[in-house]
Amino acid sequence: MSATGLPFDDIRALIAQMPGPDIRARHDARHRQEELTKPSGSLGRLEDIAEWMAAWQGRAPTVNRPVVAVFAANHGIAAKGVSAFPPSVTQAMVENFAAGGAAINQICATFDLGLKVFDLALDYPTNDISEEPALSEKDCAATMAFGMECLADQPDLLCIGEMGIGNTAVAAALFAALLGGEAADWVGPGTGQDAAGMAHKRAVVQQAIDLHRAHFGNPLEVLRRLGGREIAAMSGAILGARLQRVPVIVDGFVATAAAAVLHALDPTALDHCLFGHVSAEPGHQAALARMGKVPLLALGMRLGEGTGAALAGAMVKAAVACHNGMATFAQAGVPNRD
């Protein structure tokens, strides 16, 4: 418990303790890039990724223990019919993850990425945000702390994703509160709503926005009022990774909403993060642009589950493998200047 007895004060204290990048490690990585058997800059963004990894790991970059953490939760707002699927699908998909039958299982197996799935009290949905706050301050802060548990095995790269019926509605409300605008600016089809479903979803999300608007100046209060357990857990995971110097890859629309909470608290809070892809959910590109983030991939995906982050994780592995495994000009006996 914090000295004031207010759980969010603990979170704010952690934000204040965030380490910055290791400038020397980044310099060393950049120097090595200039010595590798390739024209300078010819690997493009892969070179930037290797240097970014070094800066946040504080050493020569490695990807030996990558983990995809998928957080699953249910939302009270789902009872209002904001999704094309019922809340029971969340539990069914968690079971599918465990059985190895989901898309994220195949991607992780293909690229040798670890996978952890966190069930966040699926039998107890958050409150309906269109009628009341989703969580108490205590529960929200505790869920953020629980999200940090995905770092218990000390991964050297963390990819975060989610599963939760109704959570694109929740994410849309969060973006409106954190980045500005109204429901129409952020609500998309999610799991595949038709025109009538979209209109209903916009109306319910707008109701939530209007109900909580007086609290939009406080990002943590926005999270506990408009968020969900998986979103709070992902925010906590991103923050915990920063404190442990673990680089993070953020997945799509919903995961980015979790990141946006930290960005609103401190714009530098996401410097240790890459954004794996731009979702087909319409508001995602706008959210990334407003936060000044450039995604690695654009594949028209909108599945969630951490799938975009995991695919980007494969790119990070390739960037680090090139950085560490390529020969230098001296080693290969290749002249590096005319």
| Catalytic status, residue 131 | no
Residue of 47, 51, 162, 305 marked active site: 305
3-state SS, one letter per residue, for the chain: CCCCCCHHHHHHHHHHCCCCCCHHHHHHHHHHHHHECCCCCCCCHHHHHHHHHHHHHCCCCCCCCEEEEEEECCCHHHHHCCCCCCCHHHHHHHHHHHHCCCHHHHHHHHHCCEEEEEECCCCCCCCCCCCCCCCCHHHHHHHHHHHHHHHCCCCCEEEEEEECCCHHHHHHHHHHHHHCCCHHHHCCCCCCCCHHHHHHHHHHHHHHHHHHHHHCCCHHHHHHHHCCHHHHHHHHHHHHHHHCCCCEEECCHHHHHHHHHHHHHCHHHHCCEEECECCCCHHHHHHHHHHCCCCCECCCCCCCCCHHHHHHHHHHHHHHHHHHHCCEHHHHCCCCCC
Positions marked catalytic: 305
